[in-house]
Amino acid sequence: MKRIPIGISSCLLGQEVRFDGGHKHDAYITGTLGQYFEFHPFCPEVEIGLGVPRPTLHLVRIGGEIRCVGVKDPERDVTDRLRRHAEQLKDRHAELCGYILKKDSPSCGMERVKVYGGGQPRREGVGIYAEALMKANPLLPVEEEGRLGDPGLRENFIQRVYVFYRWKKMLAEGLTPGRLTTFHARHKLIIMSHGDYRDLGRMLADVGSDTLADTAERYIVSLTSLLKQVPTRSRHVNVLQHIQGYLKKELSADDKAEMVDVIERYRRGDLPLIVPLTLLKHHFRKSPDPYIDESYYLSPYPQELRLLNEL
């Protein structure tokens, strides 16, 4: 499979672009994710010509606005240059299926960046470049490297990347009512694990060629928002039980009891999600079902990422 294009703060790849000439290489990103993602590195501070090494920057509240200025030289305000740079990269950002940002940076931080200006700094800022990037690309899955250490957030980000990748692939093949409906059908169980899928389904109920572009736009906006909700254990249990229903006639009493037990142990937190999923896959290999075969829920991304082992 083609590697998925992902934007990333250059320093996370080990590029020596930080203010002090150092980097923030992240071994999980390059070692594990790098096998599946094609990284497109951006260092906005270097790209706007600040050089390496360079004086440090921070966010400061000035009047009603948050600005990115030099720590030692507050007159050195690079806010507008960083914003303009993000706008100039619009076409390159549009090719991406996700973006990994460096936390705490006044340029790249996604959230909770320190803002100075009277008293203690408050963790309420967003890096100037990151803010412009996210505003211009509201559908783009974005995450910080620090949060990728959390198994739930990591899985959620990668899930969103793969869904967005498949969405863009479908658009590239040409949007049709049939393709949109198939996309929804294949993602329905994933959607169920994040929240209520019915509104999305209703949106597509009477989609025709005349309303297609508008419906697709509303659909992906709603889907993007829903997928940001990290699935709970009980939502996964509902989906697992729903899938088990497709094996009603195929499972022996013993197999059924085992399946119920494994799902219950997952619900209690005694087993990771990979266990009931593997058992279900085993049964569907013996008793295939066309709907489940087509669904991405049982195999949402390469198994080698081992994301389900910790959920």
Residue 132 touches ligand SF4, criterion: CB under 6 A: no
Selected from 4, 7, 13, 45, the binder of ligand SF4 by CB under 6 A is 45
Closest CA to 136 of 85, 77, 76, 90: 90
Selected from 5, 10, 200, 262, the binder of ligand SF4 by CB under 6 A is 10
Nearer to ligand SF4 (CB atom), residue 102 or residue 187: 102
8 Å CB contact between 142 and 102: no
8 Å CB contact between 211 and 175: no
Give the binding range for ligand SF4 (CB under 6 A) out of 43-51, 194-202, 205-213, 297-305. 43-51
Shortest spacing between CB 241 and ligand SF4, in angstroms: 44
Annotate 50-85 with three-state secondary structure: CCCCCCCEEEEEECCEEEEEECCCCCCECHHHHHHH
Nearest-angstrom CA–CA distance, 217 and 73: 45
Residue 193 touches ligand SF4, criterion: CB under 6 A: no
Residue 11 touches ligand SF4, criterion: CB under 6 A: yes
Measuring CA to CA, how many Å separate 33 from each of 135, 157, 166, 169, 193? Answer: 25, 12, 18, 20, 23
Residue 295 touches ligand SF4, criterion: CB under 6 A: no
Residue 57 touches ligand SF4, criterion: CB under 6 A: no
Residue 43 touches ligand SF4, criterion: CB under 6 A: yes
Starting at the earlier edge strand, list the strands of the sheet with 122-125. 65-70, 57-62, 113-116, 122-125
Nearest-angstrom CA–CA distance, 162 and 134: 18
Give the binding range for ligand SF4 (CB under 6 A) out of 4-12, 26-34, 167-175, 271-279. 4-12
3-state secondary structure of 115: strand
Q: Which residues contact 117 (CB under 8 A, 6 or more apart)?
A: 60, 61, 62
Q: Under rule CB under 6 A, which residues in 67-126 are in contact with ligand SF4?
A: 102, 105, 107-108
Nearer to ligand SF4 (CB atom), residue 44 or residue 141: 44
Give the binding range for ligand SF4 (CB under 6 A) out of 5-13, 31-39, 118-126, 176-184. 5-13
Residue 9 touches ligand SF4, criterion: CB under 6 A: yes
> Strands 4-9 and 99-101: what pairing?
parallel
Shortest spacing between CB 44 and ligand SF4, in angstroms: 5
Nearer to ligand SF4 (CB atom), residue 125 or residue 231: 125
Q: Which two tokens stand for residue 178?
A: 């049939």
Selected from 5, 7, 44, 300, the binder of ligand SF4 by CB under 6 A is 44
Residue 133 touches ligand SF4, criterion: CB under 6 A: no
> Going along 71-140, which residue ranges are E strands?
99-101, 113-116, 122-125
How many residues at the interface with ligand SF4, by CB under 6 A?
12
Q: Which residues form the interface with ligand SF4 (CB under 6 A)?
A: 9-11, 17-18, 43-45, 102, 105, 107-108
